[in-house]
Structure formats: C-alpha cells, structure tokens
C-alpha cells in the first residue's frame, strides 16, 4: 500500500527566502504526483501535476520535481511571499490504487513579513 | 476552468438528523470522490464513483452512503449524524480516462458540525 510522507510538517520563514518542501512515497510505480495548496478552512487548489514520464513542472515561482527511483518529489518556492502561507499537500496515484490518490499529511507554511 | 461546487460552506446539524452534502461538477468528469479531513489524520476517502449509479467504498464508509443519479452530481448522505462525524468534507472529480494527465479537482469544502 502506498504511503506518502511530507517533511517538514511545519515551516516558518521570512519573506523572500527560497524554500523546498519534500514529499516521499514508498511505491515507485506511480502514474502521477500532484501538489495542492490549502488555505485555512478552504478546499484544495491544484498547483502542479507531474506525470510519471516527466521530471519536473514549473508554474511561475513554483517548480516541482519528481524522482521515481528514489521515491521523492520536491516543491520549490522561489522568493516566498506572505501570500504563500498555506498548507501544501502532495498526492500520489499508483497502479495498485485504481488511480485514486494517496495524500500526505501536508506541510504548513508560514511566510512572515 | 473545471469547477467542483459544494452546496454549503458551513453546516450545523443535530445528532440523529439525516444530512445531505451535495457536490456538482461541470466538466463531464466520470470519477467523483468524497473525502473527510481531520487534524492529524489527513484526507481519508469515504466513497467514490466511476459512473452514474455506481459507487465504491473507500477507507471509512461506515455511517455514510452516497448517491449518483446524474453524472454531474454526487451526494454524500449521513443517515443519522453523530458528533464524531464533525469534520471538513471535500468533494473531488477527475476524468476516468485521463486522471493521469489532468489530475484531480477539488471543491471548496463543507465544514460540518454535529451538535
């Protein structure tokens, strides 16, 4: 059964820092990996989707990479801003799970001015 | 943009009431899902559906049922609400053929409180 771990669970940084959020998974036979953002009391907003054949995806200040062999994905946020404060979740879809994603517990990020 | 709409943002119900949570998507997605999210436990899958009138149990189906009479609408039903069902409920949808390419889209969530 796929297990997804996100480290760190919480992170507090000053504005302007570049930062990396980590997501690791136990079963490397994945189909895709999706990063989401969740603001307090709200739903999940998709940030980036990486298919298994891809190594990375970029959107604005966000870059997500995927290394299936090591079971890892990283979400890189450049020049962080207070508006980036949120919880970031990764979700992994595998063949054994009928494509239903397995979620990590998330990283709670605070960017202070 | 794909939209997944949950009918209520906040809901307060009494113990023993029958509760309906509604979810509608507008992009002709075949797959629809209901999750609940609790602090320290993350997202847990309650039920999902691959097609009209079709449903599959997720990890925590006890105390819940679902209905999918139309492709765009997936309802979660709490037959007799209990306080341990107080939670954030999230609906999601995806294509059946291309979830790998397009991923999953979530609604804005319903915060249910059972008193």
**B34-64 confidence digits (pLDDT tens):** 999 998 888 999 999 988 988 999 999 999 9
Q: What is the largest CA-CA distance in chain A?
A: 44
CA–CA min distance A33, chain B (Å): 8
Q: What is the largest CA-CA distance in chain B?
A: 42
pLDDT of residue B21: 97
Number of H helices, E strands in chain A: 0, 11
**Can you give the pLDDT of all 115 residues of chain B as single tens digits?**
669 999 899 999 999 999 999 999 998 889 999 999 998 888 999 999 988 988 999 999 999 999 999 999 999 999 999 999 999 999 999 887 655 667 889 999 999 999 9
Nearest to B42 by CA among A92, A64, A63, A21: A92
Q: Check CB contact under 8 Å for B108 and A43.
A: yes
HSE (CB half, 13 Å, CA atoms) of A41?
A: 5
Residue A62's φ and ψ, nearest 5 degrees, are -105, 140
Kind and range of the H or E run holding B100: helix B99-102
What tens digit of pLDDT does each residue of A43-88 get? 999 999 998 889 999 999 999 999 999 999 999 999 999 999 999 9
With CA atoms as reference, the chain B residue closest to A106 would be B42
Task: Find residue A58's DSSP bridge partners.
Answer: A63
Q: Check CB contact under 8 Å for B33 and A105.
A: no
> Measured between CB atoms, does B90 come within 8 Å of chain A?
yes
**Which among B45, B106, B111 has the least Cβ separation from residue A41?**
B111
Nearest to A46 by CA among A30, A31, A62: A62
DSSP assignment of B63-91, as one string? Answer: TEEEEEEETTEEEEEESS--GGG-EEEEE
Interface of B with A in 58-87 (CB under 8 A): 58
C-alpha B69: how far from chain center: 14
């Amino acid at each position: 059964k796929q297990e997804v771990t996100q480290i760190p669970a919480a992170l507090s940084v000053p504005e302007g820092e570049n930062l990396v959020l980590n997501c690791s998974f136990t079963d490397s036979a994945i189909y895709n990996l999706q990063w989401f953002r969740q603001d307090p009391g709200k739903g999940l907003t998709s940030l980036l989707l990486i298919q298994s054949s891809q190594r990375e995806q970029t959107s604005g200040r966000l870059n997500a990479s995927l290394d299936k062999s090591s079971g890892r994905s990283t979400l890189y946020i450049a020049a962080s801003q207070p508006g980036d404060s949120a919880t970031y979740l990764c979700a992994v879809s595998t063949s054994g799970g009928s494509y239903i994603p397995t979620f990590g517990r998330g990283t709670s990020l605070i960017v202070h001015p | 943009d794909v939209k997944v709409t949950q009918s209520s943002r906040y809901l307060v119900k009494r113990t023993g009431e029958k509760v309906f949570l509604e979810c509608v998507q507008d992009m002709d997605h075949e797959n629809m899902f209901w999750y609940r999210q609790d602090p320290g436990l993350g997202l847990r899958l309650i039920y999902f559906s691959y097609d009209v009138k079709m449903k599959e149990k997720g990890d925590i189906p006890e105390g819940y049922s679902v209905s999918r009479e139309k492709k765009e609408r997936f309802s979660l039903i709490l037959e007799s609400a209990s306080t341990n069902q107080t939670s954030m409920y999230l609906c999601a949808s995806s294509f059946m053929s291309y979830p790998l390419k397009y991923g999953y889209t979530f609604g804005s969530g319903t915060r249910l409180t059972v008193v």
